[in-house]
Amino acid sequence: MSFHKIRCLIIDDDPFIRELLQDKLDQYFPDINVLSSVSSGKKGIEEITKHKPELIFLDVEMADMTGFEMLSQLSKINFQTIFITSYSHYAIKAIRFNALDYLLKPIDLGELKGAVKRFKTYTNKGTQHVNLSLALKNIANKNVGDHLLNLKTQDGNLRLVLNDIVHIEGDRNYSYIYLKNGTKKLVTKTLMQLEELLDSKGFYRCHKSHIVNAKHITSYLNGNLIKLSESLNIPVSRRKKKHFFDWYTAYQNASQ
Amino acid sequence: MHWNTKIINPQDLINIARGDHKIIYKYLIQFQELIPQRIHSLKAHLKAEDRKQVRQLLHQMSPQIQFFGINDLVNPIRRLELEYETMPIEELCTLVETVIIKLNLALKDVHLAINENF
């Protein structure tokens, strides 16, 4: 009896990682067929065009180009991507922000199984294609405030421009996102998860229950309250006063 | 198989091989080929005081070093990767030289493992 094998490519400039991933896929995933394993972004583009894979394992940082640069050179992306990177790589933030799938080197078998399982779940749903095209747009856009954040809500996916977010309030396993048009959205992420995603993007967690967007701060009152509008003040926790003041001063200086 | 190693821990290697000695041999040979090239490049970048290239190379070597269980090198490499721009150059040189010494010891381990088993 024949069964469908997932057509897959490995693109990584480290020969050790290519061997390791190929061996793990061969040994533990009989339904994955590695069609080719190449060492550069340029060869990756050629192999994608030739083989039309369903799944690629793509190194974030290669000698000739980054994985994102390689993807942006393709006219159409109709495969799913699992990025491969190291724990300390600066791109991890971009990968997490854009909700993309990734594996840390050297590849852990449990994580690989999880990523392949997610690939099978995503197939035909198009979620990952949306996230990837969003990621490429965000990475190409130098203005962080215009970056799009894709979040899950109870009703489906929510896509927000960062500049539109005024502040966020945590509510146990959920968070309320307050937008500049006066509405609020409930998302299925904790405040801590959002704090991590929004790090270095002009947002600050000033209190155990609040994150503020510096862009919408109108003033900082008596070292206790952040004024976001005529009627909206957000408290700053006592232990964060000094740090917030330094952070906000640096933000203002950088914005001038 | 006989493992008389001092620096490397072959556990991940044994796990991936699942009893297939050819796989173990493949990774040992690859280590023996890649690491001297990378040590050579590391020395050249160090001589040129090219911090970015030093970081880049260590970043690339790191997964193989972890896979071979060279735990002594995990923290120094992590520090070099994170602090390569700010660390005083003398400290960076000392740390990279320590990494090179340990890698040479690991190479001896790998050489011995190949000689004793294949």
Residue A167 above 60 pLDDT? yes
Domain assignment present for residue B60? The answer is: yes
CATH code of residue A51? 3.40.50.2300
Q: What are the pLDDT digits (tens) for B33-78?
A: 999 999 999 999 999 999 999 998 998 899 999 999 999 998 899 8
- Within a domain: residue B1? no
Stated as kind and residue range, the H or E segment containing B58 is: helix B51-67
Instruction: Give the model confidence (pLDDT) of A46-77 as tens digits.
Output: 999 999 999 999 999 888 999 999 999 999 88
Name the least confident of A170-184, A229-243, B17-31, B62-76: A229-243
Q: Give residue B73's pLDDT.
A: 93
Average confidence score pLDDT of chain B: 93
For the segment A78-95, what is each residue's pLDDT rounded down to a tens digit?
Answer: 899 999 997 666 678 888
Same domain for A64 and A28, yes or no, is: yes
**Contact at 8 Å (CB) between A41 and A14?**
no
Instruction: Return the residue of A nearest to B31 by Cα.
Output: A16
Please give the pLDDT value at position A129. 76
d(CA B50, CA B58): 13
Mean pLDDT of A185-200: 93
Place of tokens 């724990």: A87
Between CA A67 and CA A241 the distance in angstroms is 40
Instruction: Quote the CA–CA distance of A96 and A142 in Å, as a whole number.
Output: 18
How confident is residue A99, by pLDDT bands cut at 50, 70 and 90?
Answer: confident
pLDDT greater at residue A132 or residue B93: B93
* Pair (A120, A243) in one structural domain: no
User: How far lies A31's CA from each of A5, A161, A188, in Å?
Assistant: 5, 39, 33
Residues A86 and A32 in one domain: yes
Structural domain range at position B104: 11-117
Could you give the number of structural domains in chain A?
2
B16 — contact with chain A (CB < 8 Å)? Answer: yes
- The answer as to whether B6 is a domain residue is no
Query: Residue B11 and residue A84: Cα distance in Å, rounded?
Result: 22
Query: Would residue A1 count as lying in a domain?
Result: no
What is the predicted pLDDT for the residue at A40? Answer: 97
Q: Complex ipTM, two decimals?
A: 0.89
Give chain B's domain count.
Answer: 1
Burial class (CB in 10 A: 0-12, 13-18, 19+), A96: middle
How many C-beta atoms surround the C-beta of residue B63 within 10 A?
21
Query: Would you call B84 an interface residue with chain A, using a CB distance cutoff of 8 Å?
Result: no
pLDDT for A255 equals: 80
Burial of A65 (C-beta count, 10 Å sphere; 0-12/13-18/19+) = middle
Q: Is residue A28 part of a domain?
A: yes
Residues A134 and A218 placed together within one structural domain of the fold: no
Site of tokens 């990025």? A83
Identify which of A30-39, A222-231, B8-17 has the greatest average pLDDT: A30-39
Q: Longest Cα pair distance anywhere in chain A, in angstroms?
A: 74
Closest residue of B to A106, CA-based? B63
CA distance A186 to A171: 9
Q: Does A1 score more than 60 pLDDT?
A: no
Does residue B5 lie in a domain region?
Answer: no
**What CATH number does the domain containing B88 carry?**
1.20.120
**pLDDT over threshold 80, residue A105:** yes
Whether residue B61 is contained in a domain is answered as: yes
Question: Does A150 lie in the same domain as A134?
Answer: no
CA distances from A13 to A130, A184, B60, B111 (A): 27, 45, 9, 25
DSSP secondary-structure letter at A66?
A: B
Q: Do residue A42 and residue A96 come from a single domain?
A: yes
Interatomic CA distance for residues A59 and B23, integer angstroms: 23
Judge if A227 and A174 occupy the same domain.
yes
pLDDT band at A135 (very low <50, low <70, confident <90, very high): confident
Closest C-alpha to B64, from A86, A11, A17? A17
Domain termination residue (choose one: A121, A139, A157): A139
Phi, psi of B114 (to 5 degrees): -65, -45
- pTM, full prediction: 0.85
Q: Is residue B100 part of a domain?
A: yes
Q: Nearest C-alpha of chain B: how many angstroms from A87?
A: 9
B82 and A88 in contact by Cβ < 8 A?
Answer: yes
Whether the CA torsion A117, A119, A124, A128 is positive or negative: it is positive
In terms of CA atoms, which chain B residue is nearest residue A12? Answer: B60
Domain boundary among A139, A157, A192: A139
Please check whether residues A168 and A251 belong to one and the same domain: yes
Q: What is the pLDDT of residue B91?
A: 94
With pLDDT > 90 as the criterion, what percentage of chain B qualifies? 81
User: Please, which residues bridge with residue A80 across strands?
Assistant: A55
CB A76 within 8 A of CB A95: no
* pLDDT reported for residue B60: 87
The shortest C-alpha distance from A254 to chain B (Å) reads 22
With tokens 């960062």, the residue in question is: A162
Residue B43 lies in a domain: yes
- Would you say residue A148 has pLDDT above 70? yes
d(CA B99, CA B72): 9
Which of chain B's residues have a Cβ under 8 Å away from the Cβ of A20? Answer: 16, 63, 67
Cα dihedral A119, A40, A73, A196 sign: positive
Does residue A11 sit in the same domain as residue A129?
Answer: yes
Would you state the pLDDT for residue A89? 64
Per-residue pLDDT averaged across B15-40, rounded? 94
Residues A120, A20 share a domain: yes
User: B72 at the A interface (CB within 8 A)?
Assistant: no
Residue A117 in any domain: the answer is yes
Mean pLDDT across chain A: 90
Residue type (1 letter), A80 = Q
Q: Is the pLDDT of residue A130 over 80?
A: no
What is the mean predicted confidence (pLDDT) over B80-96? 92
Instruction: For residue A154, give its domain range.
Output: 144-255
Q: How far apart are CA B64 and CA B12, in angstroms?
A: 11
Of A139, A162, A178, at which residue does a domain stop? Answer: A139
Mutate to test the interface with A, among B60, B66, B74, B110 (most CBs of A within 10 A): B60
Chain B residues in contact with A40 by the CB 8 A cut-off are none
Task: Clarify whether residues A116 and A218 are in a common domain.
Answer: no
Average pLDDT of the segment spanning A195-205: 92
